[in-house]
Chains A and B, each alone.
Chain A
Amino acid sequence: MEYILHLIILICFYTMLAQSLNLNAGFTGLISLAQAGFYGIGAYTSAILSVQYGFPFWFNLPVAMLLSFGVSYVVSLIALRTVDDYFIVCTLGIQVIIFSIMNNWMQVTKGPLGIPGIPAISFFGFEVSSKISFLLLSLALMLLVWLVLNNLVNSGFGKSLKAICEDEIYTQSIGKNVKQLKVLSFTISAVLASIPGALYAHYITYIDPTSFTVNESIFILSIVIIGGMGNLKGSFYASVFMILLPEVLRFVGISNSDSANYRQIIYGAILVLVMMRGNKNLFSFLQVQNPKVK
């Protein structure tokens, strides 16, 4: 039972990560490989503030979001000067830089040793230490993120983002500030990604840089692509699928040490197949008989 709760909590985390990336990748068309970096910024900020300075979670979370905003704003000014695959390579570089700061800045992040002993979340005396209460908290935050993103996407702002994805120059010609909209979309997505980061730090109580590598970014991106670009509900289904996949593999009888490899092979294959056909997501890929309607 505890384990099932653990899986559901992970699904909440990855739904938040994938949906926040989806705003950027699916709606604005800016595919970023730096999402795990912002996830890590959230986790590290919250961990350092609570372990070294003893601040409570409700204080750490806004600080983590603020820091993530600052970093992503600076990053967006650099990265958004490029487009298409140069943008992806650029965000990849940013991801590597954030990772090496986490891995090498010994004085602050303790490097590869990681930060142990992160206290449980407590709200005004009420401690969120049991799995079920943590699950409720992450569910609440996930629904909040979903609601915020859903409203954003359906607002005029979201429509402008979609317009940028369709035709950037045309959007500019009807008087939209494309640059500003892109910066906004990038920073919002980074700020939202730091929320599961802060939660993760307090949940696992120990963090080290290996949780926030390029591979993690690719994993988040593949959730977005499997669920469908520009499809928030799809990101949720896809994270359920991706989190439960190793469990299914365990039932098939693949040993634990190999299961990480098999899982990656499976999602690699899904990425190739979905992208190859130019399908919108895995679900539309499976309905081969329906011809693609544009």
Chain B
Amino acid sequence: MDTPKLLVVMQLILNILHNHMIIVLLALSISMNYYLLKNFNIAQAVVITFGAYLSYLLLYSFHQPLYIAIIIAIILSVSIGLLSELFIFKQMRNRKLPSFAFLVASIGLYTILQNCISLYFGDDTKSLNIGEIAVGHQIFGAYITTVQIFTIAVSAFVFIGMYLLYNYTTLGKQIRAVSENAEFATIYGISSNKIILIVTAVSSALAAIAGILYAYDTNLTPTMGFNLLLYGIVAMIIGGVGSFRGLLLGSLLLASAQNLVAYYLDTKWMDAATYIILIAFLLWKPLGFSGKKLKKVEI
């Protein structure tokens, strides 16, 4: 293999790794929610966007230092997730509505909040990286920016943290118990409402972190969250719900496919490639990599 080709391969691997870690974060956030509540929450797309836009607002309008801006942005995004849970989804759960109702209501909520962002910030593209142009570090000739390294580190850290939380702590055990059978868990004295709130908070925080990291790497638009959320959903479905190894594999497959399609065909076919993978999986391997049973797919 001659050197330019090796360079391209290296660059592709680095890009895939970076994309992979962002999608892992998103998929983790969505699957935590889905595994527990068994319905999709499209409104999480807005939590992603909010995280990014709030840090933009705090950085450039209120001139806060970076770490304070990010922490406040995450806290505010989490509170949006919690409020929507308390005032909308909890009420709906009490009424025992079918799962499509949750999805449609969350689409409605997403529409409201996304348009609020559009009204306040405008529809134009914004950038979190004003002024400083990152030179990037060289690894075997391929370039990677500091933000990307940071993204990979944070995602890996969060992923391992969540893995430990789910598998080795009492809280993780309680979450899994409520996911398996909420009523039975209540009999054993686990408050399912409390668990749902905790999981909503954590998954909103993950979504906000993913949004901020993504916005730092590229830029911000009011609709950025929707596409990111869908990538997360696709990664979760092809990985299999409730399996950490599956999530990792699913995100890796998705990120590789997106980058390879972007390199060999064109970036504009990335979304189509994403969904073709989803449909292929629903056709031939509807339970995803992990093969865990799920009632949603019947063959």
Contact = CB atoms under 8 A, between A and B. Distances in A.
A271 to B, nearest CB: 3
Contacts of B98: 84
A275 B104 contact: yes
Contacts, number: 130
B104 A271 contact: yes
Interface string B259-299: 00000001011011011101100110010000000001111
Main secondary structure of the interface of B (DSSP, over half): helix
B103 A272 contact: no
Interface stretch (B19-27, B65-73, B113-121): B113-121
Given A84-B100, A104-B268, A278-B101, A89 B233 contact: yes
Interface string A236-272: 0000000000000000000000100110110111111
Given A89-B40, A104-B266, A275 B101 contact: yes
B297 A83 contact: yes
Interface stretch (B89-97, B133-141, B176-184): B89-97
Interface stretch (A140-148, A197-205, A217-225): A217-225
A93 to B, nearest CB: 4
Contact of B279 (A93, A268, A271): A93
A272 B108 contact: yes
Given A31-B104, A265-B111, A81 B91 contact: no
How many of chain A's residues touch chain B, expressed as a range? 35 or more
Given A78-B279, A90-B278, A272-B109, A261 B271 contact: no
Contacts of B230: 92, 96
A42 B183 CA distance: 49
Contacts of A268: 107-112, 115
A151 interface: no
A82 B297 contact: yes
B206 interface: no
A4 interface: no
Contacts of A93: 234, 274-275, 278-279
A269 to B, nearest CB: 6
A258 B275 contact: no
A5 interface: no
B78 interface: no
B88 interface: yes
A88 interface: yes
Contact of B99 (A84, A264, A271, A276): A84
Given A103-B268, A261-B115, A218 B100 contact: no
27 contacts: A31-B100, A31-B104, A78-B283, A81-B286, A82-B282, A83-B296, A84-B100, A88-B100, A89-B233, A89-B278, A94-B279, A96-B230, A96-B272, A97-B272, A100-B269, A100-B272, A103-B268, A222-B108, A264-B114, A265-B116, A268-B111, A268-B112, A272-B109, A275-B92, A275-B101, A276-B92, A277-B95
